[in-house]
A and B are shown apart, each in its own frame.
Chain A
Amino acid sequence: MFKRNKLTFKTVQKSGARHDDLLESFNNIEACIIYSRYIGHTYFIYELTQTLESILKPVLDREKRASLLDKDHNSNIWCFCLSSVDENNITTFANIAHEIGHIIFKKEKDDILIIRDQVLQEKIDTKFTNRALKLLNEYPKEKRLYINSVSTQLLFSLIEETCADVVGSILLGPTFLLSLNEFTWDVIGRKSENIWFIELEKERLNYPSIAFRKKCIKSLINYDSFLKGMKEISSLNKIDEMIDKYLKSETTETDRFLIKYDEELEKYLNNFMSEISDAFLLFAHRVYDYIINKYKKEIEEPDYSKIDDLIKRLSNKIPPNIVNDGTLLGQTANYSEILLSSYLSKIYTFYRSDGMNLEEKIKDLSIINKLTTKAIECTYMQNEYLKEKKKTIK
């Protein structure tokens, strides 16, 4: 009944098809995906199986429901919601790599919770517990119960979100960081002086702070080495400095771990912020290693000469779909390479100060967005064509 919706080619689904490839790179994950457009600047995922189950419950018995929803195969149907307002700014679709992380979290929940407990054991000693209890006892009884239960719930949901960021970093590396930065541009209260960023609808309460998330991703993707690699990008002068500016300029928030949740709760948790932050960072690295080993994923540093080639295409107003390999057909660029080249070109266009006026910059950014979307469509079709050709030859 529900098939992977690969072949529908509305703008949203062009990128969607490539997200299927990302999920397939986790070799033993069985998940059926459909895509949906969400009218807003946000991305999310939900288990459609559960929603359908509750809708069907009053009209079908358990057996029929199970058969209809293909429950025997234990593969859930997930619905990825992609932002329709970003259809002309497809680079932010990289944020969906975080949503894929939720599928992995659900699948690996038991082992991830063991990792959490190990980290807690290492980081939370008796001294820490005593201090926490002592501070908690200063509150009246009902407040104590409230703080205790909400902070436990909150920290649990933060674990899931942190894991999702880990998977995003594994899948898309630096591109995920740049995309998250753009997506969350206004969460931390910076007034937009940018020209391509869109405002978020509202603050999310169950996420770690943006500052922490970026710090965590930077540490996972080896940000310093990424910046060094940027020196190989010959076509964009001083792009490393521009990236640093892009990522730093809006971080007015200090290195807090949680975003504003509840004044009393925040006041209490603020006492342990650096310990919690350190523990989460360690947890993120452990989960990173766990997923890499479990799924035998090889993390390759982006090939910057390839990225440079794609950027040159973009600066010549050509879609960044092919990397030059000496042959006429060239090598098909992957999703991550296309998005990274596009981000770097956009950051360069945004920060360059060689007399390009605002109107010209806006025009150029819009062309980069169009060419990026075209490149994603082209590479998707190139891959499909090559797969089909191989089958025919066999």
Chain B
Amino acid sequence: MTTEPHGVLNADIILKLMRERELIITPILNLEQISGSGVDVRLGTSIIFPKKTYIGSIDITKETIINEKCRYFEKMRLKYHTPFTLHPNQLILGATFEYLSLPKYLHAQILSRSSYGRLGLIVATAVTIHPGYKGVLTLELCNLSDSPITLYPGMPVAQLVFYELSGGSVETNGSYLYSTEAELPGFLYEGSKDRWELRFWGEKEAKDKQENINP
């Protein structure tokens, strides 16, 4: 894209890329969303609640988690113009209202907006968005304060910042591609690439325990 030193893209470059349809963030409801060195994005309607359950812990190394995931999580749709309360220490998965399409030479991060951060609202802990990603972004919304926070779908709770990739373009084949709503972790689905590796560590741990019990 440029021959200049790589860094965070400013609003002018973001706008230029959007005009050229290299970078797509849709829908942009208001151009004021794009300012400084980032783009404000809104909370969408799709959320996933982790349920309080009597079943033991979420052990992702166990194959059974694939079929049992609905016992741990519940998908819901928020209504527009209707408040939703996020209680202290509560974590939910949400999604951005905007659909993003990144070119293969851009890397992006999704971050909390400072005003919301000061209320104790964290919107994402896994902030990386790989080059070439297409889809809405799943947010990990957590209230770290002692007071409940009222959220509405459409609130501009997060911001995107973009970086140009050094050393050329890369191809993304992530399992979250083309998401249009909040997504559960990939290893809760059949065919997860990480499964054998997860099981390997899990089995190794179990074997070690077994050996400790019966030396």
A319 to B26, Cβ gap below 8 A?
A: yes
**Least Cβ–Cβ distance between B162 and chain A, in angstroms:** 16
Q: With A317-B101, A318-B99 as known contacts, state yes or no: A9 contacts B77, CB within 8 Å.
A: yes
B19 within 8 A of A: yes
Cβ of A324 to closest chain B Cβ, rounded Å: 8
In the complex, whether A285 has a CB less than 8 A from a CB of chain B is no
A-side contacts of B178, CB under 8 Å: 317, 367, 370-371
Contact between A371 and B180, CB atoms less than 8 A apart: yes
Complex: A379 Cα to B18 Cα, angstroms = 19
Q: Which residues of A contact B182 (CB under 8 A)?
A: none
Cα A377 to Cα B153 in complex, Å, equals 12
- Cross-chain contact B77 with A318 (CB below 8 angstroms): no
Q: Is the CB of A382 within 8 A of B27?
A: yes
Given contacts A322-B27, A373-B180, contact A9 B79 (CB under 8 A): yes
A59 contacts partner chain B, Cβ-Cβ < 8 Å: no
Measured between beta carbons, the chain A residues less than 8 angstroms from B29 are 381-382, 385
Please name all residues of chain A whose beta carbon is closer than 8 Å to the beta carbon of B177 when the two chains form the complex: 317
CB within 8 Å: A-B pair count:
64
Docked CA distance A8–B178 (Å): 24
- Assuming the contacts A9-B80, A318-B101, asked whether A329 and B28 have C-beta atoms less than 8 A apart, the reply is yes
B residues near A179, Cβ cutoff 8 Å: none
Contact A322-B26, Cβ < 8 Å, known A328-B31, A371-B178: yes
B28–A374 contact, CB under 8 A? no
**A374, B99: Cβ atoms closer than 8 Å:** yes
Q: A373-B180, A381-B27 are in contact. Are A328 and B19 (CB under 8 A)?
A: yes
| Cα–Cα, bound, A371→B178 (Å) | 8
A316 interface residue (CB < 8 Å to B): yes
**Do A381 and B154 touch across chains, with their CB atoms under 8 A apart?**
yes
Tell me, yes or no, whether A10 is within 8 Å of chain B by CB: yes
* Per-residue interface assignment for chain B, residues 36 to 55, with 1 indicating a CB less than 8 Å from any chain A CB and 0 otherwise: 00000000010000000000
* Separation of A379 and B27 alpha carbons in the complex (Å): 8
Say whether A393 faces chain B, with CB atoms less than 8 Å apart.
no
Residues of B within 8 A of A10 (CB): 77
**Bound-state Cα–Cα, A318 to B45, Å:** 19
Proximity string of chain B (1-45) to chain A, C-beta cutoff 8 Å, 1 when within and 0 when not: 000000000000001001100001011111100000000000001
**Contact residues in A for B77 (Cβ distance below 8 Å):** 9-11
Check A9 against B18 for contact (C-beta < 8 Å).
no
Do A378 and B27 touch (CB < 8 A)? yes
Main secondary structure of the interface of B (DSSP, over half): loop
B214 at the binding interface (Cβ < 8 Å): no
Check if B45 sits within 8 Å of A370, measured CB to CB. no
Complex Cα distance A136/B200, Å?
Answer: 81
A318 touches B134 (CB 8 A): yes
Flag if A7 contacts B81 (CB, 8 Å).
yes
If A317-B134, A322-B26, A328-B28 touch, whether A7 touches B80 (CB-CB below 8 Å) is yes
Name the contact of B80 in the complex, choosing from A332, A374, A381 (C-beta under 8 A): A381
Please state if A370 and B180 are interface contacts (CB–CB under 8 Å).
yes
Is A175 part of the contact surface with B, judged by Cβ < 8 Å? no
Task: Annotate A165-207 by CB proximity to B: 1 below 8 A, 0 otherwise.
Answer: 0000000000000000000000000000000000000000000
- Given A370-B180, A374-B180, answer yes or no on A321-B82 (Cβ-Cβ < 8 Å): no
Q: Does A122 contact B (CB under 8 A)?
A: no
A319 to B134, CA, bound (A): 10
Asked if A244 CB lies within 8 Å of chain B CBs, one says no
List, in ascending order, chain B residues with CB within 8 A of A370's CB.
Answer: 178, 180
What are the residues of chain A within 8 A of B18 when measuring CB–CB? 328
A384 at the interface (CB under 8 A from B): yes
- Quick one: CB contact mask for A312-328 with B, threshold 8 Å, 1 for yes? 00001111011000001
Q: Which residues of B contact A371 (CB under 8 A)?
A: 178, 180
Q: How far is the CA of A318 from the CA of B24 in the complex (A)?
A: 8
Within 8 A of B (CB), among A81-119: none
Q: Which residues in A have their C-beta under 8 angstroms from that of B82?
A: 7
- CB contacts under 8 Å to B, within A373-392, are 373-374, 377-379, 381-382, 384-385
Residues of A within 8 A of B97 (CB): 378, 381
In angstroms, Cα B28 to Cα A385, docked, is 11
CA distance A374 to B154 in the complex (A): 14
Chain B: minimal CB distance from A91 (Å): 15
Most buried by B among A8, A367, A377, A382: A377
Q: Is there a chain A Cβ closer than 8 Å to B78's Cβ?
A: yes
Centre residue among A321, A379, A381 by max chain B CB count within 10 A: A381
Query: How far, in Å, is B192 (CB) from chain A's closest CB?
Result: 17
Docked pose: A250 CA to B45 CA in angstroms: 39
Contact B45 A378 (CB under 8 A): no
A-B contact pairs, 6 of them (CB 8 A): A7-B80, A7-B82, A318-B24, A319-B26, A378-B27, A384-B80
Known: A9-B77, A378-B27. 4 other contacts (CB 8 A): A7-B81, A8-B79, A318-B101, A378-B97
Complex A-B, nearest 6 residue pairs according to Cβ-Cβ distance, in ascending order: A374-B180, A370-B180, A378-B27, A385-B29, A9-B45, A367-B178
